[in-house]
């Protein structure tokens, strides 16, 4: 029986560790950590994500402010907002919620965030720190995965790791974090020959490609640890039936909601082949916001001299 790696339990552990750190900052420096989130436009999914982030801030005692310029905001106006936040001493972290409206120069906006306030870990300075193994904020989803592996006692050193996906947000930093823990790492993508064969070599397989249930049993080495980063919303009943193959409980969920979430890994196949795996939902997703809180607190500690 494959072991389920419960991201909700690990999230709760991380949040419990955050609370005394926030309390120490309030006691010693008379202010909590501060996080500013910029949400441009009215993307429904982004609104849900931001609400989750601000709710978690409130739960942990972190000050948060959400700035909501209209979808018509210009790149220059966003840059002005970020510069003001860079100058505010009570703001320790700045998060620009992606995607931005299509007319915005996203790269220029992200580059404008002061590296010391870049709690997403996307600024080139912080990516450079990651590459060279220097301290600094790490991208939240890969950092959360590393916490999950560590807290479940999954060995990394000397293991073969394969990451499917080469995005700047997940794939590349994930590979670097695994490399720093002495895994032998391969990054796969759409041009990789014999993708299933390469994946079957992995002791740790991380799927971050955005294609529902693409990673089937023939991608997975028997006993491997499989980390599913994908969150795909399925609204086609025929596709849901194909994926869940007679799983009455999951199809009942689909019929009730008219949709269901599926990861990049086939949810039935992984249980029969893997040694351990993350579910969708309830696996990697909860850890991303938890690590955002960790990065925000760590930024405040550095800026206040409490680190």
Q: Is the pLDDT of residue 228 over 80?
A: yes
Q: Catalytic site residues?
A: 53, 97, 120
Give the pLDDT confidence of 73-94 residue by residue, as tens digits: 999 999 999 999 999 999 999 9
Residue 246 is predicted with a pLDDT of 79
Distance set, CA 176 to CA 32, 128, 245, 267 (Å): 31, 11, 36, 27
Structural domain boundaries in the chain = 29-116, 140-286
Q: Is the pLDDT of residue 307 over 80?
A: no
Q: Where are the alpha helices (DSSP H) in the chain?
A: 7-29, 44-60, 75-87, 106-112, 124-132, 140-151, 171-180, 195-199, 237-244, 248-257, 269-273, 285-304
Give the pLDDT confidence of 116-131 residue by residue, as tens digits: 999 999 999 999 999 9
Residue 306 is predicted with a pLDDT of 85
DSSP state of 43: -
Q: Which CATH superfamily is domain 140-286 in?
A: NAD(P)-binding Rossmann-like Domain (3.40.50.720)
CB-CB contact of 178 with 163 (8 Å) = yes
Residue 1 is predicted with a pLDDT of 82
Give the pLDDT confidence of 135-187 residue by residue, as tens digits: 999 999 999 999 999 999 999 999 999 999 999 999 999 999 999 999 999 99
- The DSSP annotation for 209-273 comes to S--TT-B-GGGS-TT-EEEE---EEE--HHHHHHHHTT-HHHHHHHHHHT-EEE-SB-TTHHHHH
**pTM of the predicted model over 0.85:** yes
Look at the alpha carbons of 209, 214, 216, 219 in this order and tell me if their dihedral is positive or negative: negative
Give the pLDDT confidence of 61-71 residue by residue, as tens digits: 999 999 999 99
Question: Which among 114, 131, 132, 133 has a CA at the least distance from the CA of 123?
Answer: 114
pLDDT band (50, 70, 90) for residue 205: very high
Four-way CATH pick for 29-116: 3.30.1330.20, 3.30.470.20, 1.20.1440.230, 3.40.50.10860: 3.40.50.10860
Q: What mean pLDDT is reported for the chain?
A: 96
DSSP state of 115: G
Give the pLDDT confidence of 244-263 residue by residue, as tens digits: 987 899 999 999 999 999 99
- Please count the other Cβ atoms lying within 10 Å of the Cβ belonging to residue 52: 15
29-116 against 140-286: fold identical: yes
């Amino acid at each position: 029986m494959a072991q389920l790696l419960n991201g909700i339990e690990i999230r709760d552990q991380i949040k419990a560790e955050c609370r005394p750190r926030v309390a120490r900052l309030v006691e010693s420096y008379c202010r909590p950590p501060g996080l500013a989130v910029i949400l441009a436009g009215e993307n429904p999914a982004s609104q849900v994500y931001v609400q989750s982030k601000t709710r978690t801030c409130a739960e942990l005692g972190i000050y948060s402010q959400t700035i909501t310029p209209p979808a018509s905001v210009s790149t220059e106006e966003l840059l002005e907002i970020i510069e003001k936040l860079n100058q505010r001493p009570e703001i320790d972290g700045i998060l620009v919620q992606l995607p931005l409206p299509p007319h915005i120069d996203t790269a220029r906006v992200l580059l404008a965030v002061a590296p010391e306030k870049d709690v997403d870990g996307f600024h080139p300075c912080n990516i450079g720190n990651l590459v060279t193994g220097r301290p600094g904020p790490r991208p939240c989803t890969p950092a959360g995965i590393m916490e999950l592996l560590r807290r479940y006692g999954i060995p990394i050193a000397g293991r073969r790791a394969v990451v499917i996906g080469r995005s700047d947000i997940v794939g590349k930093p994930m590979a670097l974090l695994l490399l720093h823990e002495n895994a032998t790492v391969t990054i796969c993508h759409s041009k990789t020959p014999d993708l299933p064969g390469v994946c079957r070599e992995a002791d740790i397989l991380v799927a971050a490609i955005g294609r529902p249930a693409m990673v089937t049993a023939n991608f997975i080495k028997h006993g491997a640890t499989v980390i599913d980063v994908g969150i795909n919303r399925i609204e086609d009943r025929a596709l849901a039936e194909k994926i869940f193959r007679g799983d009455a409980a999951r199809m009942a969920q689909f019929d009730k909601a008219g949709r269901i979430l599926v990861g990049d890994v086939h949810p039935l196949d992984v249980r029969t082949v893997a040694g351990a795996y993350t579910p969708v939902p309830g696996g990697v997703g909860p850890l991303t916001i938890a690590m955002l809180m960790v990065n925000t607190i760590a930024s405040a500690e550095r800026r206040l001299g409490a680190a």
